[in-house]
Structure 1
Amino acid sequence: MDRLSTQGLFDPLRLPCGTVLKNRLAKSAMSDSLGDGRGGPTDAQIRLYERWANGGVALSIIGEVQGTPDFPEKPGNLVLDARSDQQRFETLARRGSSNAASLWLQLGHAGAMADAQISNPKGPSALEVPGLTCGALSPDEIASLPAAFARTAGRAKALGFGGVEIHAAHGFLLSQFLSPLFNTRTDDYGGSLDNRMRLTLETVAAVRRAVGPDFPVGLKLNATDQLDGGFQQDEALDVIAALDQTGLDLIDISGGTYFPGAPSSSERAGSGPYFVDFADRARTKTTIPLMVTGGFKTFEQADAAIRDGKADIIGLARALIVDPDLPDKWRNGTARSPSFPRFDRPPEGGVTAWYTMQMTRIANAKPALRPDALVRAIADYEARDEDRGKIWTKHFDSLQA
């Protein structure tokens, strides 16, 4: 039976820790690739999150913020550690939370999916498959991870960010531990689902201890990684049930993985939200507020998910790239759906490159990219990664010298 809600998209949401979000629309975590190559925020990145805040979102989440430079997803990732430029991070926190928005950092660790050009990828288990080679984390390395996530969370709180989200989705480290395809360990962190979720639960507990009871802590979890033999929906529901008593303030439901050759949720065809039905099932496992991310393209879709009681907050990604003012337009009734670009047979990863470069244009107040600029966007995206990869290597190697 549907659980109808009296809440709408523009009603506030009180999180269990007491923080109140002004509405039910969030800019979900994306890899904006706008770091300076040394792990620091750029002026463009600061402007981008200020722009989204001024467009009316209640919450923005900065994707893949690393606690160390050892396992980055991209050389444009932020790194928040003891050597970071605290003033730059404080500026990002302050300006990204304008207009009563809340700005959170997503606590990232790419693990086996770390950029091999600037790191030494390691995951739960050693793998050597087409497009991916990685080593296995040692027991001591695994034991150190919850405290590492917790240190980054504590720094985020001290610098003025509104909350943190632990990344356990999309094929990154904690998601790798959950997946039997990545995780073939035979110790306490592999085998049964209880063992595979152990690191995630330990990380949530460590982060909560570090930031105290009044600071928002969320977690992003796959409904499924959409791979045969991988992490499946029934397992995800069991993980959600285990998370119910951990003191989380938000579970952000998404899906898919960046495993080489795997289908991407964000590039799949379809006109509707991807994970609303799963979220409805998750309602039976937890009282923690649910954020649902993926595939929302119209006001009606987002509003229905809230009013039907299937979601507490809606995560928007590409919709806010094509229209950063979409929340205000939905609130004022001046628009119902953004106009998404259409691409003719884009190469794998090409659409992601286009949207990433479009974020740069938003940050620099430049006209939107045309869909027929896809080839140029891919070239610019790859060139920027190459340039920042050189900066990353030179900078972090010098710190270790």
Structure 2
Amino acid sequence: MSNSADSRNILGRTLELPCGAVLKNRLAKAPMSDSLGNGEGGPTEAQIRLYERWAEGGSALSIVGEVQGDFRFPERPGNLLLGLKENQNALRLLTKRATVNGAHIWPQLGHAGALAYLPVSQPKGPSALSIGDFTCAGMSAEEIKALPVSYARAALDAKDVGFSGVQIHAAHGFLLSQFLSPLFNRRSDGYGGSIEARCRIVLEVINEVRRVVGAEFPIGIKINSTDKLVGGLTQEEALEALRLLDTTSLDLIDISGGTYFPGAASCSDNSSSEPYFLDFARRAKELTQIPLMVTGGFKKSEQAVQAVTEGAADMVGVGRAMVLNPCLAEEWVHNSGIDPEFPRFESPPEGGVTAWYTMRLTALGEDAEKNYDLDVLSALRIYEERDTKRVSIWKRKFSG
């Protein structure tokens, strides 16, 4: 790969999406569950400031992870919830401050389905399942047919409060990912069986979202390259899903992988020094004309430069590296800073690394990261205590 100025400057090039919207460079803050909502579906000041900081730091696009359109199936009680009048002013403040410096801000439209947070939900997926300690109910045909309208309503709510686009979440083991996976989807009607049938609800959601938001509003999707589970979505099936997505009006396809199925290994805790999904993205590029974003494992600017230069990705999604340095995009685009130094954790407990990064997000939102010195066990304890408090708030708000 060339190290010429032209090669490095590729991260600073704009990207025009099929709908006509323009992203100012090739670096996006990937969606993460920041767990910074107020427990009633609204944003906190720390959350608003967090996304403002990424915008100030040069990101072309920030995606708010796990934004719900249905309070019955949240991923966590710290998720944002669209459609509540009492939260609209705070959400408008979020989108106003998160779009400074020419940045885009999109919500990741989620529905946890079978992985909905147990203390505030009754999980329900494509099929009733009982796998080890994991159980969930199955959705009726009527409930499935209502999903496109539900996602479209959430997308329109997002547009109304100033989000500049939306990303449909069909990865990481949540509801639409569950429909794609033969491990979760064991239906025998038109929504199960072949990969075409399993992808049907995803296409219906995309089409209905497009119908209500109009032709010029960006719609992205996050999709797995593989579930990394025995019996789950394979790479070959994921590539076939890409062929089907290419027939839609999508503007950006975000390639990721893995699942939050209980006990599954987390891709983000992978110790690999290389990006995770570039080989799949290279194959996907041959199947679609829709711009591709690749997320997972980008730790060095050279990796991002190479991915875009060789054509494996049009956008690079960066998560934890931007948690370590919220100005990373500006520095990588202008080659003015060094790559972040990632912390090393010795034998962390399950969920500990994620909790450490999530609590650092809180520190960023409070402009207090210079004083952030939590160890993994302390971060996990505080993270879980905060969720416990928000469970009570969520129940008071939505159980009446």
* TM-score of the two chains, using structure 1 as the length reference: 0.96
**Aligned AA (1:310):** A
Structure 1, unaligned stretches of length 5 or more? Answer: none
CA displacement 1:174-222 (0-9 Å, x = unmatched): 0000000011111111111111111101001111111111000000000
2:239 — aligned with what? Answer: 237
CA displacement 1:55-82 (0-9 Å, x = unmatched): 1100000011111201000000011014
Q: How does 1:1-40 map to 2 (within 5 A)?
A: 8-40=10-42
Match of 1:138 among 137, 140, 155: 140
1:111 — aligned with what? Answer: 113
Q: How does 1:343-382 map to 2 (within 5 A)?
A: 343-368=345-370, 373-382=375-384
4+ residue stretches of structure 1 with deviation over 4 A?
4-7, 368-372
Q: Could you tell me whether the CA contact under 8 Å between 2:250 and 2:290 is conserved in 1?
A: yes
Q: Could you tell me whether the CA contact under 8 Å between 2:360 and 2:372 is conserved in 1?
A: no
Q: How does 1:304-343 map to 2 (within 5 A)?
A: 304-343=306-345
2:397 — aligned with what? Answer: 395
3-state SS of paired residue (2:119)? coil
Structure 1 CA distance, aligned partners of 2:341 and 2:264? 27
3-state SS of paired residue (2:11)? coil
Moved more, 345-354 or 79-88: 79-88
2:75 — aligned with what? Answer: 73
3-state SS of paired residue (1:194)? helix
2:213 — aligned with what? Answer: 211
1:161 — aligned with what? Answer: 163
CA displacement 1:31-52 (0-9 Å, x = unmatched): 0000000000111100000011
Structure 1 CA distance, aligned partners of 2:246 and 2:334? 36
2:3 — aligned with what? Answer: none
3-state SS of paired residue (1:353)? helix
Q: Aligned residues, how many?
A: 395
Moved more, 179-188 or 324-333: 324-333
Q: Could you tell me whether the CA contact under 8 Å between 1:341 and 1:371 is conserved in 2?
A: no
Structure 1 CA distance, aligned partners of 2:237 and 2:200? 13
CA displacement 1:236-275 (0-9 Å, x = unmatched): 1111111112100000000000001111110112000001
Shift of 1:9: 0.6
**Aligned AA (1:34):** L
CA displacement 1:287-314 (0-9 Å, x = unmatched): 0000000000001000000000110000
Structure 2 CA distance, aligned partners of 1:92 and 1:139? 36
Structure 2 CA distance, aligned partners of 1:50 and 1:372? 24
Correspondence 1:261 to 2:259:
no
Structure 2, unaligned stretches of length 5 or more? Answer: 1-5
Query: How many percent of aligned residue pairs carry the same amino acid?
Result: 56
**Aligned AA (1:220):** K
Q: Could you tell me whether the CA contact under 8 Å between 1:5 and 1:306 is conserved in 2?
A: no
Structure 2 CA distance, aligned partners of 1:134 and 1:320? 35
2:44 — aligned with what? Answer: 42
Structure 1 CA distance, aligned partners of 2:236 and 2:283? 10
Structure 1 CA distance, aligned partners of 2:334 and 2:255? 27
Structure 2 CA distance, aligned partners of 1:223 and 1:368? 36
Change (3 A) 1:5 1:203: farther
Q: Could you tell me whether the CA contact under 8 Å between 1:109 and 1:173 is conserved in 2?
A: yes
